[in-house]
Amino acid sequence: MGKDSSVDPVAQTSRWMAAARARESERPYRLFDDPLAAALSGPEGFSWLERMEPPVPRFGGPALYVVVRTRFFDDFLLYASWGAGMRQVVILAAGMDARAFRLDWPPGTRLYELDRPEVLAAKDEILASTTARPACERHTVGVDLEHPSWAEALLDAGYEDRESSVWLVEGLLFYMTRDAIQMLLSAAGTLVVPRSLLGLDLVNRDFLNSPTTRPLLAAFAWSGASGRFGVNSPETLLGEYGWNAEVTQAGEWAANYGRWPYQVALRGIPNVPRIFFVRAWRSGG
């Protein structure tokens, strides 16, 4: 099946991510269960995933890191909610994410999904054909995350900027320009109070120009969503916007789950492509 030119290519990547989650959910020893993933993927999601399957040394195919990343941030969000007491959850570029339905949220949790209006409309149309009901108070906010007006739209949807919150930016920054990321982080910074938490994933600059990752990058380019941003020090980047960051590489013990078969190079070794999973907390207070 070909690409749908009427939908933003980055938004379309959420289809094959859902396909990867659907495959994982079929495994007997799965890292998570996403019963809505197959429907949210659709045939096009599985078709895209098959095209992107050839393994890349040290990283495997896209399904591997999507699955590990999903579990990593599932754990992060559940800790933030049950352990740190956050009752506001914000997912930027939510795409076909079904965490509002599949995670065990504490009573009183308000979850805000932000993405392009057409993406959320397509998602809700699929969800309407199922019997699924959210396990929290779910709000959808149709916005362009490359325009700072999304922050006002989130407030209009009921988000309370005087309460602590946990944010997730998963599978997005890789596709954005540095200017757009700076605008996004600046806008988010106006909406959070001390103790708030942030999870996101990044790659380093070597990832974008390494022969090792060329097959994977070519697959992204085929999808129309080429990688554009990498940073070698997520700690420094987030520190500029008031966040203290803890960085884990994909495949390290905290992001392995017995699935990552490749050796992970220490951060100090130069010229190595890397995938970063970041957990951060807001400075001050």
Question: Model confidence at 218, in pLDDT bands (50, 70, 90)?
Answer: confident
Number of domains comprising the chain: 1
Tell which wins on pLDDT, 66 or 4.
66
What single-letter DSSP state applies at residue 217?
H
Q: How far is CA 117 from CA 8, 139, 166, 212, 269, in A?
A: 11, 13, 22, 36, 42
Evaluate the CA torsion angle 155, 157, 163, 164 in order and state its sign.
negative
Does some domain include residue 54? no
Write out pLDDT tens, residues 238-281.
999 999 999 999 999 999 999 999 999 999 999 999 999 999 99
Q: Mean pLDDT over residues 222-241, rounded?
A: 91
Tens digits of residue pLDDT in 13-62: 899 899 999 999 999 999 999 999 999 999 989 988 887 766 666 666 67
Q: Is residue 272 part of a domain?
A: yes
Note whether 177 and 147 are within 8 A (CB): no
Angle at 154 between CA 105 and CA 8, to 5 degrees: 95
| Phi, psi of 248, rounded to the nearest 5 degrees | -120, 135
Does the residue 16 lie in any domain?
no
Q: What whole-number distance in Å separates Cα of residue 161 and Cα of residue 138?
A: 17
Please compute the mean of the pLDDT values over residues 112-127 and round it to a whole number.
97
When pLDDT is cut at 50, 70 and 90, the band that residue 226 belongs to is: confident
Output the average pLDDT for the chain: 92
227 lies in some domain:
yes
Residue 127, in any domain of the structure: yes
| C-alpha–C-alpha distance, residues 88 and 96, integer Å | 20
Position 26 in a domain: no
Count of C-beta atoms within a 10 Å radius of residue 241: 18
Any residues with CB less than 8 A from the CB of 212 and at least 6 apart, and which?
56, 57, 58, 59, 273
Q: How far apart are CA 194 and CA 257, in angstroms?
A: 31
Give strand pairing partners of 59: none
Is 1 part of a structural domain of the chain? no
Residue 76: which domain range?
A: 65-282
Torsion sign over Cα 201, 209, 252, 27: positive
Give the torsion sign (CA, 7, 22, 97, 279): negative
Is 266 part of a structural domain of the chain? yes
CATH of the domain at 236: 3.40.50.150
Q: Please, are residues 249 and 189 in contact by the beta-carbon 8 Å criterion?
A: no
